[in-house]
């Protein structure tokens, strides 16, 4: 496996948010974490990335990364797209993309040409401050900026949140394009239909721990899990 997480715990102050989370992601695999709001899905990504202090075992490509700083984890090949997008609003679209480029000799799997081919609107607005483009365009920009760093694994938190249906499909197309380049994806997604369509495996999270692991077909067949942990 590319990413292995075992018995992961995390806290916000005295609140015990993650209570023994275990998961794995293989090379080129799309894995989704499903669950209701507030169960710890976003905290799981932040703990893996080092934005929240983790307790437990996290290995990436065989190397222990728990306790490293976020930039050290990023340099090892982990990309992270947070839910708040975290663009630089006063910089142009093009400048935001440039900031994502990782220097080095290896030819990157994702380029400006890839971004502009999939999203011509970003090319049209390349010289526009990123703060004035639409929310959907900002989401595309954030994901593509992370890809410019040529990660082996990209973790994406709620990429379709607040987007129009047409833009949701564009996000789904982008996720598929990422996977076709053998970049692994760990996805937190509220839209069950997108996650079930794209994922190789899914985890369901409840109360700070995983309560289900399996294929989308296995989850579709498990009405008890869906009723207890996913349905409103």
**Is the pTM for the entire model greater than 0.85?**
yes
Contact 78, 70 (CB under 8 A): no
pLDDT of residue 164: 87
Closest CA to 159 of 147, 169, 149: 169
Cα gap 39→23, rounded to integer Å: 15
Mean pLDDT of 10-25: 97
- How many CA atoms does the CB half-sphere of 109 hold within 13 Å? 17
pLDDT of residue 2: 96
For residue 104, give the 3-state DSSP assignment.
coil
Which of the two residues, 172 and 105, has the higher pLDDT score? 172
pLDDT of residue 119: 87
pLDDT of residue 190: 87
Q: What is the pLDDT of residues 118-141, one digit of tens each?
A: 888 999 999 999 999 998 899 999
The domain locations on the chain are: 3-229
Sorting pLDDT into bands at 50, 70 and 90, what band is 104? low
Mean pLDDT of 154-181: 90
Q: What is the pLDDT of residues 185-205, one digit of tens each?
A: 999 998 899 999 999 999 999
Mean pLDDT of 207-225: 97
Which of the two residues, 105 and 87, has the higher pLDDT score? 87
What's the topology of domain 3-229? Rossmann fold (3.40.50)
Residues forming a β-bridge with 206 = 209
Sign of CA dihedral 152, 124, 142, 189: negative
pLDDT of residue 106: 62
Cα gap 120→93, rounded to integer Å: 12
Q: What is the pLDDT of residues 45-88, one digit of tens each?
A: 999 999 999 999 999 999 999 999 999 999 999 999 998 888 99
């Amino acid at each position: 496996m590319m990413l292995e997480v075992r018995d992961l715990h995390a806290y916000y102050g005295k609140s015990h948010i993650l209570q023994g989370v275990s998961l794995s992601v293989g090379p080129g695999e799309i894995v989704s974490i499903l669950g209701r709001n507030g169960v710890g899905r976003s905290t799981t990504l932040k703990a893996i990335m080092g934005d929240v202090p983790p307790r437990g075992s996290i290995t990436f490509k065989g190397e222990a990364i728990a306790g490293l700083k976020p930039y050290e984890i990023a340099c090892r090949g982990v990309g992270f797209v947070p839910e708040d997008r975290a663009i630089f609003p006063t910089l142009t679209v093009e400048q935001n993309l440039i900031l994502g480029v990782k220097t080095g000799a290896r030819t990157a799997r994702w380029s400006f040409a890839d971004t502009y081919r999939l999203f011509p609107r970003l090319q049209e607005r390349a010289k526009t401050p990123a703060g004035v483009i639409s929310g959907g365009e900002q989401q595309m920009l954030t994901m593509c900026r992370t890809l410019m760093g040529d990660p082996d694994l990209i973790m994406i938190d709620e990429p379709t949140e607040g987007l129009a249906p047409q833009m949701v499909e564009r996000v789904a197309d982008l996720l598929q394009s990422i996977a076709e380049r053998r970049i692994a994806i760990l996805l937190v997604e509220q839209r069950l239909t997108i996650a079930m369509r794209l994922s190789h495996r899914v985890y369901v999270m409840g109360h700070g721990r995983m309560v289900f692991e399996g294929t989308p077909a296995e989850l579709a067949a498990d009405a008890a899990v869906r009723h207890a942990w996913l349905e409103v």
